[in-house]
């Protein structure tokens, strides 16, 4: 079974996060939602609270095959400023593991130095 990490940062776009997790779980993929710190309850962009399965600092990168980032502008900024997320992304790139990001979150990939070639993102985020 494949294992996918979905980091959850304050300000995440709820529909994007839930869609990623729901679709992958329906497909039989093990998905772990992980908060960036010790708080498992995270407030989304539209004031919906999601409870993460785990906290990122307690997880082992070797247990995961992929990472998928939801959007939400504030959530993206919180992901982009998190050094542990950047470490996960650079390590996944080095190990040629799957990295995915939707909406504004390709900006996180760029900040981590793993964005190359063509990409899609929320209109207006291309320059960032």
Beta-sheet strand order (sheet of 66-69): 54-55, 30-35, 3-8, 66-69, 98-101
3-class SS of residue 16 = helix
**Annotated catalytic residue within 31, 45, 103, 109:** 103
Q: Is 103 designated active site?
A: yes
Cα–Cα dist 64/3, whole Å: 5
Other beta carbons less than 10 A from residue 116's beta carbon:
9
Catalytic residues: 103
């Amino acid at each position: 079974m494949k294992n996918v990490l979905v980091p959850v940062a304050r300000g995440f776009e709820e529909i994007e996060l839930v869609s990623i997790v729901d679709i992958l779980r329906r497909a039989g993929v093990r998905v772990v939602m992980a908060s960036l710190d010790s708080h498992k309850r995270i407030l989304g962009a539209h004031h919906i609270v999601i409870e993460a399965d785990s906290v990122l600092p307690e997880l082992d990168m070797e247990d995961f095959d992929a990472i998928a980032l939801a959007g939400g502008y504030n959530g993206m900024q919180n992901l982009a400023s998190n050094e542990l997320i950047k470490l996960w992304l650079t390590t996944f790139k080095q190990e040629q593991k799957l990295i995915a990001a939707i909406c504004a979150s390709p900006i996180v990939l760029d900040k981590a130095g793993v964005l190359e070639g063509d990409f899609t993102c929320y209109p207006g985020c291309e320059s960032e």
